Chains A and B, each alone.
Chain A
Amino acid sequence: DTAVSQTPKYLVTQMGNDKSIKCEQNLGHDTMYWYKQDSKKFLKIMFSYNNKELIINETVPNRFSPKSPDKAHLNLHINSLELGDSAVYFCASSQKGGEPQHFGDGTRLSIL
């Protein structure tokens, strides 16, 4: 039973399109995250929600909009996709204290 699941696993689309990535966790964690991993494997945090409240919002273009309908779900919507958005996007979740993050398998986004 997958702890953090993301869909889709692969996303290939044209520049200018709008797309969404969904994430769900069944660990009962309060906090969820979106990360972007570039081609050099650098992992950069984008957003974090705690109990549906936005708590981390890094310098990300406003074309990216997260949405958390409940604490088990965190979706990422991207408007007007650009070539530079090509990357692997990871969802993660964690609990308070020293609990480490649990990661999904990633969504590989390719912009043509």
Chain B
Amino acid sequence: AQSVTQLDSQVPVFEEAPVELRCNYSSSVSVYLFWYVQYPNQGLQLLLKYLSGSTLVKGINGFEAEFNKSQTSFHLRKPSVHISDTAEYFCAVRPTSGTYKYIFGTGTRLKVLA
């Protein structure tokens, strides 16, 4: 079975400051990893994904994430945030074979302050 832990339920940060949202996962099989963003009253949109290859992946809106297999982490970073980045962020994993089941973390609310 897989599990995803997002330890920070809320992260306040000032505009133009850097931010890191943490994601750790547990799995006995290899997984694909994803970060999604949810703006108020909207569905989830894909920010970026790690399937294989380079452990540093770049996504939309200036976000990037680094896959660390030894620490089973997939932290999301942005060097300079904007007010418009205020949203809920979800980390998710899915086994590379077998089940189609995606496991989501509990989400991190990023609040960007002026």
Could you tell me which A residues sit within 8 Å of B by CB distance?
A: 4, 31, 33, 40-43, 45, 48, 50, 55-56, 90, 92, 94, 97-98, 100-106
Contact = CB atoms under 8 A, between A and B. Distances in A.
Given A50-B100, A56-B99, A101-B102, A41 B43 contact: no
A105 B100 contact: no
B43 A103 contact: yes
20 contacts: A31-B100, A40-B106, A41-B109, A42-B107, A43-B90, A43-B104, A45-B101, A45-B102, A55-B99, A56-B99, A56-B101, A90-B44, A98-B32, A98-B52, A98-B96, A100-B36, A101-B44, A102-B46, A103-B36, A105-B41
Interface in B31-47: 32, 34, 36, 38, 41-46
A98 B51 contact: yes
Contacts of B109: 41
Given A31-B100, A56-B101, A94-B100, A105 B43 contact: yes
A41 B38 CA distance: 10
Interface centre among B43, B46, B101 (most CB of A within 10 A): B43
A83 B36 CA distance: 29
Contacts of A97: 51
Contacts of B49: 98, 100
B46 A100 contact: yes
A102 B96 CA distance: 18
B16 to A, nearest CB: 26
B102 A103 contact: no
B36 to A, nearest CB: 8
A106 B44 CA distance: 9
B88 interface: yes
A90 B43 contact: yes
B100 A55 contact: yes
B99 A103 contact: no
A39 to B, nearest CB: 12
Contacts of B101: 45, 48, 56
